[in-house]
Amino acid sequence: MQQNSLLRLYFFVLLALCLTRTVNARTEQRWKASSPGGINEIVVALDSGKNLGNTDYGEDERLYFKVSHHGFLVIPWSPLGVQGGLEGANMNFVNGLDFTQADPVQEVVETYYIPHGKRREDTARSNLLVLRFANSEEREMHVVFKIFDDGVAFSYYFPGKGELFTITGMLLRAQVDEY
């Protein structure tokens, strides 16, 4: 009888640990990429502002990013997201996002031409991080981050077949800290 109780207790402890790991895996979704020279680093999280130490953004789970330069935090956790629609249908890409895929970080070398100045041709090197998410309507949004040694950039991409996506609102509140 005592062995049966111990076995049941062991099962419940194991179940509790599994559930805890599942919850933590959901709230600790983070991705990181650095510039080619390691000067800048971006961290992206799908989490709540409360878990990231920022109560200004509430408890809703959404996308956030932060940027470091030479190891110093220059942009603290800041929210990302857009609202808009396809041909009249309103869509939310702020709350309720589900992570679907992270492409491997790739180095990108772009050559561009300058019409004036001493150099006609220049090269920009960056690392590219593409994160894919789906909203509650199962529509896809890709967030594309480019991390350069002298800055960072991001854009949104909405895959579709010639559909016109109109952005009606964008969530971005980045405060650049002095370092």
The one-character DSSP state at 147 is: E
96-142 pLDDT tens trace: 899 999 999 999 999 999 888 788 888 999 999 999 999 988 889 99
The pLDDT assigned to 162 comes to 74
Q: How far is CA 10 from CA 15, 20, 23, 24, 114, in A?
A: 9, 15, 20, 21, 68
Closest CA to 109 of 35, 41, 32, 44: 35
Choose between 160 and 24: higher pLDDT.
160
The pLDDT assigned to 28 comes to 61
The pLDDT assigned to 25 comes to 40
The pLDDT assigned to 31 comes to 97
Assign 11 a pLDDT band (cuts: 50, 70, 90).
very low
Q: Walk me through the domains of the chain, giving residue ranges and CATH numbers.
A: 2-172 (2.70.98.10)
The pLDDT assigned to 15 comes to 38
40-63 pLDDT tens trace: 999 999 988 778 876 676 777 889
CB 134 within 8 A of CB 100: yes
Closest CA to 137 of 85, 101, 87: 85
The one-character DSSP state at 116 is: S
The pLDDT assigned to 9 comes to 40
Task: Look over the chain and give the mean of its residue pLDDT values, rounded to a whole number.
Answer: 81
Assign 23 a pLDDT band (cuts: 50, 70, 90).
very low
68-89 pLDDT tens trace: 999 999 999 888 999 887 766 7
pTM of the model: 0.77
Number of helices (H), then strands (E), in the chain: 1, 11
Q: What angle do CA 153, 155, 157 make, to 5 degrees?
A: 155
pLDDT at 160 over 60: yes
The pLDDT assigned to 8 comes to 44
